[in-house]
Amino acid sequence: MSCSKKVDLSGVFPPITTPFQENEEIAWDKLGENMDKWNNIAFGGYVVHGSNGEYPYLSADEKIEMVRRVKEMAPKGKVIMAGAGCESTRDTIDMCNKMADAGADCVLVITPSYYKGAMTSAALQQHYTKVADASSVPVVLYSVPANTTIDLAPDAIISLSKHPNIIGLKESGGDISKIGNLLHKTQRDEFQILAGSAGFLLPSLMLGAVGGVCALANVLGDQVVQLHALYKEGKMDEALELQRKLIAPNGMVTRGHGVPGLKATLDWYGYYGGPLRSPLQPVSQSAADIIKQSFNASGFNP
């Protein structure tokens, strides 16, 4: 059943948030308003159900419907990468194929993490191999140890990169030496590596990454896209200056304050951030002030 279709992952992908009403139901009208704004930015596509989409808190039906609607709203040619990772291999395969049916061009599969001690390199390689064998769209590996505490090992990634239906990796650990080593050891056109954060996008590009899945692009999409463009154009001095300015604000909406911080920032920039789904809680006023100060200090005044 597996598919070896090529999907171009180059460019910047915002891992979009899921908008909620006050009663925590999905606010589909607000999703449309946000998409209308994001569609004016030169993104490579969209990640639906990354960590910023509150994916673990959505029902299976909600996950599938989100992908279906984003596919309908996105301009033709934009890549839709859908989070599809579940704890069991069987459920992951099922979700991958349902995401494909809903319009996903490829699936982003996070490392299972509940039984952390059992998630050896061998177990994860078996998991991803079975998923890739059975998925009707290409698979992108997803390592995000800040959330899962599992850092997908280089030996597993290098081995899995040879699978014809595994086309890339979203690496969110922030270890630039690991990214460089992987790019050296997986040098083939079919395997593409994406930086998992705007905070290390430029160094990743310099080592050979094709783009990034960047939470900050939800609010500073033009600027993150510009960083990618400056690198492609060889304007390294300008790219370096912009990268340095993006680091502090990026930290605020990633490891600093996470999804609550990102949703607060969306509201400031004219998007809809709105409520979170419980048990996540909104940022405090003091935390919001710190986030805003960080954006202001870097010249990105909300």
pLDDT for 302: 80
Instruction: Give backbone dihedrals phi and psi of 296, rounded to 5 degrees, phi first.
Output: -65, -45
- Take residue 266 and report the two structure tokens written for it: 């969306």
Residue 27 has pLDDT above 70, yes or no: yes
Residue 234 has pLDDT above 70, yes or no: yes
Could you give the angle at the alpha carbon of 212 between the alpha carbons of 207 and 217, nearest 5°?
140
The mean predicted confidence, pLDDT, of the chain is 95
pLDDT category of residue 287 using cuts at 50, 70 and 90: very high
Number of H helices, E strands in the chain: 12, 9
Q: Is 232 a catalytic residue?
A: no
% the chain with pLDDT above 90: 91
pTM for this one?
Answer: 0.96
Domains belonging to the chain, first-starting first, are 11-244 (3.20.20.70)
pLDDT for 121: 95
Residue 166 has pLDDT above 80, yes or no: yes
30, 63, 98, 170: the catalytic one is 170
Could you give the angle at the alpha carbon of 157 between the alpha carbons of 151 and 163, nearest 5°?
145
Token pair 């590596």 in the structure block, residue: 193
pLDDT category of residue 147 using cuts at 50, 70 and 90: confident
**Which is it for the CA torsion 273, 265, 46, 55, positive or negative?**
negative
Mean pLDDT of 119-133: 97
pLDDT for 301: 87
